[in-house]
Chains A and B, each alone.
Chain A
Amino acid sequence: MRQAQPTGGTDRAPGPTAPPAYMACGVKKIYGEGRSAVHALRGVDLEIPTGEIVVLLGPSGSGKSTLLNILGGLDRATEGTVSFRDTCLSALDDAGLTLYRRRHVGFVFQFYNLMPSLTATENVELVTEIARDPMAPEDALALVGLSARADHFPAQLSGGEQQRVAIARAVAKRPEVLLCDEPTGALDSATGRAVLSVLRDVNAELGTTVLMVTHAASTAGMADRVLHFADGHIRDVVINDTRLDPAEIEW
C-alpha cells in the first residue's frame, strides 16, 4: 500500500533522483552559557537522501539526540543552517516549526509518551485530528499489528505494544520523515526486533524517510546509512549496500 500522492508542501518523490530530505551545514548547539556551557554539537554537516533508513549511532552525550531534535523542529541550532527539502528550518519561527512538525514529521520516543488517559485508537486520533491527509487510525494500528488492542489504554499494554502504538501514531499522518529516539531502548530483544520490523515496513510501504537514534551498534545493519557520532561531531558515515532484516539483528 504505497502512497505516492503529495501530502505536504513539498512533493514526495522518493528515489535516488529525489532531492535530499535534509541538508545541514555547520550546525552547532550550545546549552547554557559561560563556564557551564555544554557543547552538544560542535559543527555538523550532513545530507540525508529521501526514502532511506538512517541510523544515528554513538555513545551517550555524543550529540545524536540533539541533532534529531533539531531536524525534527523540536529544538533550534545555535549556529549553522538546517533545511528540510527546500525549507530552511533555521529561518522558521515557532509557528513555522509547529506547522512543519504538524505536516511533515512523525516522532517516536524511547518512553512511548502515550497519553495515559487515551486508548490506543484515541492516541492515534490525537495526531490524525490535525493532519491534512491522515490514514484511518484503524489502518495505522493494523500496520503495526495492533488492531486487536485498539481500545486498550496504555496501562493495559505491554512496553512493546505501547511503542507500536507510538509508531502507529507517528505514521498515521503519513509524514515524510519519521524520527525515532531510541525506539527500542526500553524493550527486550524480541520486542525490539518486532518494533524495528514495523519501522522497516513503514519505510518500505510508505516511502517514509526514517531517522533512528540508538546506541546499539547492531541496529546499524538494517540501515541504508549509518552516522557515527562522537563528541558532537559526525565521525564517519557508513553506507550499507545491503540492509539486514531486523529479525537477523544480533541484540
Chain B
Amino acid sequence: MVSPLDRKLLRDLARMKGQAVAIGAVIGTGVLMLVMMTGLVASLTETRDAYYDRYRLADVFAPVSRAPERLAGDLAAIPGVSAVQTRVTGRALVDIAGAALPAQAQAVSLPDRGRSALNDIYLTDGRLPEHGRPDEILLLEAFADAHGLGPGDVLAATMNGARRSFRIVGLAQSPEFLYTTPPGELYPDDARFGVIWMSRSALAAAYDMEGAFNEALLALSRTARKAAVIDAADRLLAAHGGTGAYARAEQISNRFISEEIAGLAVSARTVPPIFLAVAAFLLNIVVGRMVQAEREEIGLLKAFGYTDAEVGAHYFKLVLAIAAGGALAGCLGGVVLGRAMVEVYTAFFKFPFLVFRLDPAAFATGVLVSVAAASAGGLLVVRRVFALAPAEAMRPPAPPDYSRSARFRRLGRLLDQPSRMVLRRIVRQPIRMGGAALGIASGMALSVAMLAIYEGFDETVDLTFGVVDRSDVTVTFTHAVSDKTLFELGRMEGVARVEPVRHVAAILSHGLDSHRGAITGLPPDAALYRALDAGGGPIPLPERGLVLSRTLADVLGVEAGQALSVDVREGRQPVLDLPVAAITETLVGAPAYMALDALNRALREPGRVSGAHLTIDSARADAIFARLQDMPTVAGVSRKDDARAAIVRLMDSGAGATRYVMGAIAFVITFGVVYNAARIALAERTRDLAALRVMGFTRGEAAFVLLGELAVVTLVALPAGAAIGYALSFAIASGFSTELYQIPAGIDRASFGQAALVVLGAALVSGLLVKRDLDRTDLIGVLKTRE
C-alpha cells in the first residue's frame, strides 16, 4: 500500500506542478546542455574515427617532386609501415560557367585497377572512371553540389598549363577532403576549391609522371614509431625532392576537423558546467524557499511523532522528484537535441554516416549535481525547521520586526501604504531579497555572457575583414616570385594599389612542441593587410625576429626573447633559428608575422613575394580577373567578400553554431529563474494579499504589493547580472576560441541592453502569469484556514 505520506507527496506535486515544472526546467536545461554537448563531441569523434578507419586514411603523407615508382617497395620496407600507396596529384583550375574567377582544384590519381590501398573514396553517385578512358573523372560531391554539376556533365580544366575537357562519371567523398581550403586562405569554401579524381595513367600523362609518383601514403602498424617512419621516409625521398613527410595530425582537412571537434570539446567542457552551476545554484535557492513555505506541515508531522529522519526523507523525496525529474527530462532532451545537432554536424563535416554515442558520465554528472543542489537547498531549510520546537514550527513565523525600517519614516511619508509595504519588506529582509536578486542576476548573467559571445564573433569577423584586411582581392602565386611581378599587377587598369606578402610554409618548433603553419612576411608600411593586435592597434614588426600570436605562442610554449627553430618546407628547405621578438593577441588564426625584408634576408632570397593584396575598381573586376587568370605565375585569386562569407559560414555551422543553442538555453534559464522568483513571492505573501483584499483593496492594488517587490528585485538584479555576465563571458569566450579563430570576451552596451530587456520581458510575463494565479486564488478562503 502506498503510505499516506507518499500520497501526500504525489498530490503536493500535482498541486505545485506549475512551480515544479518551472524548477525542473531550470535544472533540466542545464543538464540538457551538458548531455547534448558531451554527446555531440563523443559522436563526432567516434564518427570521424570510424570514417577514417573504414576508408583507410593514411597515417603519414609524404609529398615529393618526382620519385620513381620503385621507391614504393623501399617505403614499404621501412619498419612499422603496414601499407603504401603512391599516387600523382596536381593543381588544376576549373572553369565555372558564369563566374569570372576559375575555381581551384586538386587532381588526385586513382589506381588504374582496383581500389586504392589507402585514402579510399566513397562514391556517392555514378561510377568509377574506366581504365583506358582518360577523360573520365570523379568530382568531389560538395564542389559538384555547389555548382550544380553531376554525372554526365562536362568539365573544362587547366592542368599543367593545358586546357582539357573531362566527363564527370561520378561524385565522391573522401576522409582526406572533408575540408577543402583554397591555397592561401584560412577557411574552407566548397565552391572555390574542388577535388578531381582520375585514373593514375591519365593523370600521370597530364603531369609528366609516368612511372613516377609525387605523393606516397603510408599506413603504420599499431606499434610503429611515427617519428622514426617519417625520418626514414624523408631520407628515402630527399634525393627526389621530398618536401617533408608529415603525420595525419598535420594533414590539413584532418587538422580542421580535429580543431573543430577540439573546439566543441572545449566548449563542452567549459560552458555546460557554468550553466549547470548557475542552474544548480538557482535550484538550491528555489527549493530552499519552497521548503520554507512547508514549515507548518513539517511542524505538524513532528507533532504527530514523525522523526526528523522520516520528515526529512519525505521532503527529500519531494525535492528528489522535482530535481531528478528535471534532470532526467534534461537528459532525454539532451539526447534528442544532441542527436539532431550531430546530424547537422554530420552534414557539415560531410561524414557519409553517423555513429551516435552518448557519454554516460554526463548523465551521472547531470543527475548528481541536480539532486545534490536541490537536496542541499531543501535540507538546509528542513534542518532549520527541525531546530525549532514543533510548537513553534507549526505557528507561522513570528511577524518580522519591521521597526528597524522606521528610520525610513520620512521617505515613507511620501509613499502610500502598499508602496511602504514593498519598501519595508525589502529593507527588512535584505538577505532573502538579495538571494532572489542574486538568482535573477545569475540567470541574466548567462544571457549577458551569451550575447557578449555573439558580439565577440561579429567583432572577430569585422576586425579581420574591416581592419586587418582592407584589400579587395588577394592573389596567390604558384611559388615565391620576384617582387617585380607586382609592377605587372600594378600596371593593370583598375588596380589601385598593390602590396606584397610572403607566406612561407614552415614547421615552427620549440623544444618538443611544434606547429606546422606559415610565417607571414609583411612590408613595413602595409596598409591593405596589416598585422594588428586584438585591440586593433598595429603590431610593429622588428628588424629581425618573429612576432607570434598568443595562440601560437601558447601552443609552442614560447615567450618573447626565446628562439624558435623554423624548419622551412619550401625552396631550399633551410632550418633557421629565429628569435621571438614579441607576442601579441590576435583574433584570427595563429599567425607568425615577420617583416618582409627580414624574412627574405633570413631565407637569403631577397625581393621575393608569394602573393599580393590588391585594391581594385570594382567596375573593372571582371577584366582584372581575366588578366590574372592568364598569368602563369598566379595560382589563385580570392575576393575578400568570398573569404569573409567563408569564415562567417564556418562560425555559423561549425563549433560556433552551438552558441545559438546555448543562447536559447540561457534565455530559457533566465525566464525560469524570474518566473520562479515570482511564484515563490506569491506563495510567501498569499496571506498578506488576502488580508489586503479583505480590507477592501482591489485585485490590482493587492497585486501591486507583490509585483512591486518583484520589480524592485528585478531592477536590483540588472547591474549585478551585467557584472556576473561580464565575468562569465571570459570563461565562455575561451571555450569558444580555437586555433582557427579567437573570440574576445567583454560586453558592450547593446548586449547589456538586450539582456536587460530579456530579464524585464521575463519579469513582465512572469508578473502577468502570477497575477493571473493571484486573481484565481480564493483569497478569503486562505484566511479561513489556520493561523
Q: Check A129–B4 contact: CB distance below 8 A.
A: yes
Q: Check B296–A113 contact: CB distance below 8 A.
A: yes
Nearest A-chain residue to B297, judged by Cβ? A115
Instruction: For B786, list chain A residues within 8 Å (CB).
Output: 111, 113
Knowing A74-B390, A113-B786, the reply to whether A130 touches B297 (Cβ < 8 A) is no
Q: Which of B749-787 contact A (CB under 8 A)?
A: 785-787
Stretch in A53-61, A94-102, A141-149, A233-241 with 4+ CB within 8 Å of B? A94-102
B205 near A: Cβ within 8 Å?
no
Knowing A74-B391, A118-B11, the reply to whether A107 touches B5 (Cβ < 8 A) is no
B305 near A: Cβ within 8 Å?
yes
Knowing A74-B389, A76-B389, the reply to whether A117 touches B11 (Cβ < 8 A) is yes
Smallest CB separation, A29 vs chain B (Å):
10
Partner of B304, one of A75, A107, A117, A118: A107
Interface size class of B (residues with CB under 8 A): 20 to 34
Instruction: For A109, list chain B residues within 8 Å (CB).
Output: 394
Instruction: For A94, list chain B residues within 8 Å (CB).
Output: 308, 386
Q: Check B306–A130 contact: CB distance below 8 A.
A: yes
Nearest A-chain residue to B387, judged by Cβ? A94
Number of interface residues of A (CB under 8 A): 29
B7 near A: Cβ within 8 Å?
yes
Smallest CB separation, B18 vs chain A (Å):
15
Instruction: For B389, list chain A residues within 8 Å (CB).
Output: 69, 74-76
Instruction: For A184, list chain B residues within 8 Å (CB).
Output: none
Contact string, B272-300, partner A, CB cutoff 8 A, digits 1/0?
00000000000000000000000011001
Q: Check A103–B303 contact: CB distance below 8 A.
A: no
Q: Check B302–A98 contact: CB distance below 8 A.
A: yes
A177 near B: Cβ within 8 Å?
no
Q: What CA separation (Å) do A116 and B15 show in the bound complex? A: 10
Q: Check A113–B300 contact: CB distance below 8 A.
A: yes
Smallest CB separation, B635 vs chain A (Å):
77
Nearest B-chain residue to A100, judged by Cβ? B305
Nearest A-chain residue to B393, judged by Cβ? A74
Nearest B-chain residue to A153, judged by Cβ? B11
Knowing A74-B391, A117-B15, A118-B11, the reply to whether A129 touches B5 (Cβ < 8 A) is yes
A161 near B: Cβ within 8 Å?
no
Q: Check A107–B787 contact: CB distance below 8 A.
A: no
Q: Which of A65-79 contact B (CB under 8 A)?
A: 69, 72, 74-76
B562 near A: Cβ within 8 Å?
no
Knowing A75-B389, A117-B12, the reply to whether A125 touches B304 (Cβ < 8 A) is no
Q: Check B305–A101 contact: CB distance below 8 A.
A: yes
A91 near B: Cβ within 8 Å?
no
Interface centre among B15, B296, B785 (most CB of A within 10 A): B785
Q: Check B308–A130 contact: CB distance below 8 A.
A: no
A126 near B: Cβ within 8 Å?
yes
Q: Check B391–A101 contact: CB distance below 8 A.
A: no
Partner of B391, one of A75, A99, A102, A126: A75
Instruction: For A75, list chain B residues within 8 Å (CB).
Output: 389-392
Q: Check B304–A122 contact: CB distance below 8 A.
A: no
Chain B contact surface mostly: helix
Q: What CA separation (Å) do A118 and B297 show in the bound complex? A: 12
Instruction: For B386, list chain A residues within 8 Å (CB).
Output: 94
Q: Check A103–B305 contact: CB distance below 8 A.
A: yes
Q: What CA separation (Å) do A109 and B5 show in the bound complex? A: 20
Partner of A122, one of B7, B301, B787: B7
Instruction: For B303, list chain A residues within 8 Å (CB).
Output: 72, 74, 101, 107
A105 near B: Cβ within 8 Å?
yes
Smallest CB separation, A168 vs chain B (Å):
13
Contact string, B304-329, partner A, CB cutoff 8 A, digits 1/0?
11111010000000000000000000
Q: What CA separation (Å) do A79 and B182 show in the bound complex? A: 90
Q: Check A113–B394 contact: CB distance below 8 A.
A: yes
Q: Which of B691-743 contact A (CB under 8 A)?
A: none
Q: What CA separation (Å) do A183 and B8 show in the bound complex? A: 24
Partner of B307, one of A74, A95, A118, A125: A95
Instruction: For B304, list chain A residues within 8 Å (CB).
Output: 101-102, 107, 126-127, 130
Instruction: For A125, list chain B residues within 8 Å (CB).
Output: 3-4
A209 near B: Cβ within 8 Å?
no
Instruction: For A69, list chain B residues within 8 Å (CB).
Output: 389, 391
Nearest B-chain residue to A125, judged by Cβ? B4
Q: Check A118–B391 contact: CB distance below 8 A.
A: no
Interface centre among B5, B304, B391 (most CB of A within 10 A): B304
Q: What CA separation (Å) do A76 and B389 show in the bound complex? A: 8
Q: Which of B40-56 contact A (CB under 8 A)?
A: none
Smallest CB separation, A173 vs chain B (Å):
8
Smallest CB separation, B369 vs chain A (Å):
29
Instruction: For B305, list chain A residues within 8 Å (CB).
Output: 98-103, 105, 130
Knowing A74-B391, A76-B389, A117-B8, the reply to whether A98 touches B308 (Cβ < 8 A) is yes
Q: Check B392–A118 contact: CB distance below 8 A.
A: no
Smallest CB separation, B262 vs chain A (Å):
52
Smallest CB separation, B382 vs chain A (Å):
14
Instruction: For B391, list chain A residues within 8 Å (CB).
Output: 69, 72, 74-75
Smallest CB separation, A101 vs chain B (Å):
4
Instruction: For B297, list chain A residues within 8 Å (CB).
Output: 115
Smallest CB separation, B400 vs chain A (Å):
14
Smallest CB separation, A167 vs chain B (Å):
14
Smallest CB separation, A128 vs chain B (Å):
9
Nearest A-chain residue to B781, judged by Cβ? A155
A214 near B: Cβ within 8 Å?
no
Q: What CA separation (Å) do A75 and B391 show in the bound complex? A: 6
Q: Check A123–B4 contact: CB distance below 8 A.
A: yes
Instruction: For B302, list chain A residues within 8 Å (CB).
Output: 98, 101
Q: What CA separation (Å) do A117 and B786 show in the bound complex? A: 15
Q: Check A126–B5 contact: CB distance below 8 A.
A: yes
Nearest B-chain residue to A128, judged by Cβ? B4
Instruction: For A117, list chain B residues within 8 Å (CB).
Output: 7-8, 11-12, 15
Q: What CA separation (Å) do A105 and B391 show in the bound complex? A: 14
Instruction: For A76, list chain B residues within 8 Å (CB).
Output: 389
Q: Check B394–A115 contact: CB distance below 8 A.
A: no
Q: What CA separation (Å) do A69 and B394 show in the bound complex? A: 11
Q: What CA separation (Å) do A101 and B307 show in the bound complex? A: 10
Interface centre among B301, B303, B386, B785 (most CB of A within 10 A): B303
Knowing A74-B390, A75-B392, A102-B306, the reply to whether A111 touches B8 (Cβ < 8 A) is no
Contact string, A125-137, partner B, CB cutoff 8 A, digits 1/0?
1110110000000
Contact string, B390-421, partner A, CB cutoff 8 A, digits 1/0?
11101000000000000000000000000000
Nearest B-chain residue to A117, judged by Cβ? B11
Nearest B-chain residue to A127, judged by Cβ? B304
Nearest B-chain residue to A69, judged by Cβ? B391
Partner of B4, one of A72, A113, A122: A122
A interface residues (Cβ-Cβ under 8 A, vs B) = 69, 72, 74-76, 94-95, 98-103, 105, 107, 109, 111, 113, 115-118, 122-123, 125-127, 129-130
User: Could you list some 13 contacts between A and B, CB below 8 A?
Assistant: A69-B389, A69-B391, A75-B392, A94-B386, A99-B307, A101-B390, A102-B304, A102-B306, A111-B786, A111-B787, A118-B7, A125-B3, A129-B5
Closest 3 CB pairs of A and B: A102-B305, A117-B11, A74-B391
Given A74-B303, A74-B394, A103-B305; 11 other pairs, CB 8 A cutoff: A69-B389, A75-B390, A75-B392, A98-B306, A101-B303, A101-B304, A102-B307, A111-B787, A115-B300, A123-B4, A130-B310
